[in-house]
Structure 1
Amino acid sequence: MNLFRSALYSVYFAVWSVLFSLLFLPVLGWAKLTKNRKLVQKSARIWTGGLVGGLRIITGIRYEVRGQENIPRDAAILAVKHQSMAETFLFHRLVPDSAYVLKQELTRIPIAGWYLLGSGAISVDRKAGGKAARAMLNEAKQRVDEGAQIVIFPEGTRVPPGERRPFQPGVALLYSHTKVPVVPVALNTGLYWEGRSFRKHPGTMVIEFLEPIPPGLPQREFLKLLEDRIDRHCQALLPEALRSPRPNAEDPVTDGPKPDSQSPDSTNPAPSPEPAP
């Protein structure tokens, strides 16, 4: 049954994304004409809401947000553990103004790439070396000046739950260049949405916003602190998830918090990039 539901959601994901992209093209055009990035962000929240609703109804996957007191309202960097496809769109709903760091190839996809650029995504040409790093830092500084929350996956690729990979230097460069706090984000999404597969399993994913790291640390010290903090909290989420029984897809579910939610007890869910290192 899980296999059928997983395949059904993949079809739903594709159909909903295509329909949404076509219906909202006039909005994208107007946003580009008026240089209104926030309008595209609002559209992305609607799109993401459809994805989250489908995930909940079709597969029985919901999610819980912890550490809501650490969710930034102003300019910040979110250093997010990357285990599944889910975190590539959830942050459109979890923070007020997300700007994903992603590989440049994604921005060349017709229509989808237009939305990514329109939302303020920071594209990285991974073949351009130092030139790409400078371009990324310049774009990131612009987003920070606009008050955005930059979303980056420090490992640069999806890593299965329980495994570790060295963090790439990109997040440390952003930290030292932008001089804003970095909020580590731990999660266990890969237990429910397999990272390299379409298979999904009903249950409650946890996204945990950890205590922010203030600006000003040396890059090497910052990177070690960030890596240790994220990995320690991710490891702690594994046995907790294994102890929890998987609910049936028909069981009642709750959503994750919307960007303007302030209640620490609220649990609410939320275009889909694959970020670059």
Structure 2
Amino acid sequence: MIVVQYLRSIVFIVQMYIMLAVIAVGLFPVALIGGRDGAIWVCRAYCKWVCHSARWIVGLRAEIRGEVPSGNVLVASKHQSFLDILMIYAVVPRGKFIMKKELVWTPFVGWYAYLIGCIPVDRGKRGAAVRSMLAKVRESRMMGGQLIIFPQGTRVAPGVKREYKIGAGALYKELQQPCIPAATNVGVFWPRHGVLRKPGVAVIEFLPVIPPGLKVSEFMERLEAEIEPASDALMAEAGFVVR
């Protein structure tokens, strides 16, 4: 049975990257003519394709819980694999990411990241990276929408503890907007590394809003205190033992 699941996973991954090229190139005129709205439509179409094809091919169903963020808000999410990026972007109406600078040069991904207004950050420069990020956020503020950040700064495997970085707090203070935390269990089924994609229910849960106006330290404590237990609960629901 596990061999069959590995074969299904390989088929899924291959078609996922083929469809990335097909959709990115084939619908590029839509992105050019439609501007940011057109690019967002193309990106959401790809995200939805991957979520649907995961269900058909490997038996992995994507489920969204909670109220989907809309308007001008900061979305701070647990990040376990590529799937949580796709699931979030498939449902938010006008999303853009804080993303690592290296992705700008990735074929297809870099094109659309620029068009939808993503903000690249050089993660290796710490304080300078935060200042640069805030400057770019000020420049792009008029674009509006949902700014998505992964406060731990990278993918974190289920059961692994990693600190929350101050960048999320700096954005919260700069934007003076509500923050929507998001929990997930996707790493149980779609790991950071490896080929196997497991059947089950991958969940993104949007949690109650954190209002603007808190001190950064208070915000950071509250963000972690809400995301981590909710993610642990989702992982336990999926059969992962959180130690």
Q: Could you tell me the TM-score, scaled by structure 2's length?
A: 0.91
Q: Residue in 1 aligned with 2:87? A: 90
Q: Residue in 1 aligned with 2:171? A: 174
Instruction: Report deviation, 1:7.
Output: 0.8
* Residues 1:3 and 2:6 are matched in the alignment: yes
* Residues 1:240 and 2:237 are matched in the alignment: yes
Instruction: Report deviation, 1:128.
Output: 4.6
**Counterparts of 1:150-161 in structure 2 under 5 Å?**
150-161=147-158
Instruction: Report deviation, 1:131.
Output: 4.1
Cα gap change, 1:49 to 1:237, in 2 (>3 Å): closer
What one-letter code is carried by the residue in structure 1 that aligns with 2:14? Answer: V
Distance 1:163 1:227 in 2: 14
Indicate conservation of the 8 Å contact 1:75/1:146, yes or no: no
Q: Residue in 2 aligned with 1:193? A: 190
Q: Which moved more, 1:86-95 or 1:73-82?
A: 86-95
**Counterparts of 1:192-231 in structure 2 under 5 Å?**
192-231=189-228
Q: Residue in 2 aligned with 1:124? A: 121
| CA deviation vs aligned residue, 1:71-110 (integer Å, no higher than 9, x gap) | 2221111110011110122222211111111011111123
| 4+ residue segments displaced more than 6 Å | none
What one-letter code is carried by the residue in structure 1 that aligns with 2:205? Answer: E
* Residues 1:12 and 2:15 are matched in the alignment: yes
Higher helix share: 2
Distance 2:215 2:11 in 1: 48
Q: What count of residue pairs does the alignment treat as equivalent?
A: 237
Instruction: Report deviation, 1:152.
Output: 0.7
Indicate conservation of the 8 Å contact 1:79/1:153, yes or no: yes
| CA deviation vs aligned residue, 1:150-207 (integer Å, no higher than 9, x gap) | 1111111111112221001110110000100111101101111112222111111111
Indicate conservation of the 8 Å contact 2:84/2:184, yes or no: no
Q: Any stretches of 5+ residues in structure 1 without a counterpart? A: 244-277
What one-letter code is carried by the residue in structure 1 that aligns with 2:54? Answer: L
| CA deviation vs aligned residue, 1:129-164 (integer Å, no higher than 9, x gap) | 544323311332344433310111111111111222
Instruction: Report deviation, 1:126.
Output: 2.7
Q: Residue in 1 aligned with 2:56? A: 57
Indicate conservation of the 8 Å contact 1:86/1:193, yes or no: yes
Indicate conservation of the 8 Å contact 2:88/2:204, yes or no: no
**Counterparts of 1:256-271 in structure 2 under 5 Å?**
none
**Counterparts of 1:66-105 in structure 2 under 5 Å?**
66-68=65-67, 71-105=68-102
Structure with the bigger RCO (C-alpha within 8 Å, sep 6+) is 1
Q: Any stretches of 5+ residues in structure 2 without a counterpart? A: none
SS state at 1:62 partner: strand
Q: Could you tell me the TM-score, scaled by structure 1's length?
A: 0.80
| CA deviation vs aligned residue, 1:110-134 (integer Å, no higher than 9, x gap) | 3331111101111112345544323
Task: Calculate percent identity across the aligned residue pairs.
Answer: 34
Indicate conservation of the 8 Å contact 1:75/1:144, yes or no: no
SS state at 2:41 partner: helix
Q: Which moved more, 1:134-143 or 1:43-52?
A: 134-143
Indicate conservation of the 8 Å contact 1:75/1:180, yes or no: yes
Distance 2:60 2:128 in 1: 41
What one-letter code is carried by the residue in structure 1 that aligns with 2:13? Answer: S
Indicate conservation of the 8 Å contact 1:140/1:150, yes or no: no
